[in-house]
Structure 1
Amino acid sequence: MSPPAGCEANRTLIYLIPPCSGKDATGQPIRYGEDFCLGITGGFEDKMLYLSSNHKTLLTSSKKSWLQEVYLTDQASHLNLWQATFLEPQLRLEYEGSPVHANRKLVLYHRYTNRALVAHRNLFLRTYFGKEVEVAAHTYLDSQRVEKPKNVWLLVTASPRDDEATMLDVAKPRAEDTRAVEQAMGLGPQ
Structure 2
Amino acid sequence: MLLQRLVLEPVRYPAGRPVDSTIPEYGLLFQKFSLRIERHFDAGCHIGSHQFLCLFCLVFFVPKMIQPESQKDREERDMMFSIRPAFNAPCKLGNWNEDLFLQEEKTAFAAYKRDRGQLLLQKTKKMFRNLSRPLQLSHSLVMLKYGENYQIVAPDIPCETCRAKVRPVYLAGLVTEREIDTRQEFSHGSVVVGCVDGTPCVRNTFKFVGCDRDKTGEPLTFSEDFYLQIVGGSEEALYVRCENSMAQMGYHPTPTLSKFADAYCRFKMLHFDPGLRLEREGAITRANDKVIIQNVPTGKNLAVENHLVTTFFGNEYVISCHTFRDTHKMETAENVWKVVGEDLQDINAVVRAAKGEDVPPELLK
TM-score class, shorter: 0.7 to 0.9
Aligned pairs (5 A) from 1:7-156: 8-11=196-199, 12=201, 13-21=204-212, 23-44=213-234, 46-56=235-245, 60-64=246-250, 66-120=251-305, 122-156=306-340
Amino acid at match of 1:8: V
How far does residue 130 in structure 1 lie from its aligned partner after superposition? Answer: 2.0
Q: As a proportion of its length, which structure holds more strand?
A: 1
Amino acid at match of 2:247: S
CA distance in 1, matches of 2:198, 2:232: 14
Cα separation, partners in 2 of 1:100 and 1:24, compared to 1, 3 Å: same
* Contact 1:42 1:49 survives alignment (8 Å): no
What percentage of aligned pairs have identical amino acids?
A: 26
Query: Structure 1 segments of 4 or more deviating over 3 A?
Result: 2-7, 169-173
* Contact 2:156 2:333 survives alignment (8 Å): no
Residue matched to 2:62: none
CA-based RMSD of the aligned residues comes to: 2.6
Amino acid at match of 2:196: E
How far does residue 85 in structure 1 lie from its aligned partner after superposition? Answer: 0.3
Cα separation, partners in 2 of 1:173 and 1:38, compared to 1, 3 Å: farther
Amino acid at match of 2:349: R
Who wins on radius of gyration, i.e. which is larger?
Answer: 2
Residue matched to 1:186: none
Q: As a proportion of its length, which structure holds more helix?
A: 2
* Contact 2:253 2:322 survives alignment (8 Å): yes
Amino acid at match of 1:124: L
How far does residue 72 in structure 1 lie from its aligned partner after superposition? Answer: 1.0
CA distance in 2, matches of 1:170, 1:124: 35
CA distance in 1, matches of 2:197, 2:280: 28
How far does residue 136 in structure 1 lie from its aligned partner after superposition? Answer: 0.1
CA distance in 2, matches of 1:170, 1:152: 27
Cα separation, partners in 2 of 1:113 and 1:149, compared to 1, 3 Å: same
- Alignment gaps of 5+ in structure 1: 160-166, 182-190
Cα separation, partners in 2 of 1:43 and 1:100, compared to 1, 3 Å: same
Q: Secondary structure at the match of 2:315?
A: strand
Higher RCO structure, 1 or 2 (CA under 8 Å, sep 6+): 1
CA distance in 2, matches of 1:36, 1:54: 16
* Contact 1:62 1:136 survives alignment (8 Å): no
Q: TM (normalized to structure 2)?
A: 0.41
How far does residue 43 in structure 1 lie from its aligned partner after superposition? Answer: 3.2
How many residues are matched? 163
Amino acid at match of 1:14: T
> Could you list the per-position Cα deviations for residues 55-81 of structure 1 after superposition, in whole angstroms to 9, with x for gaps in the alignment?
13xxx21422x1122111111111111
Amino acid at match of 1:53: C
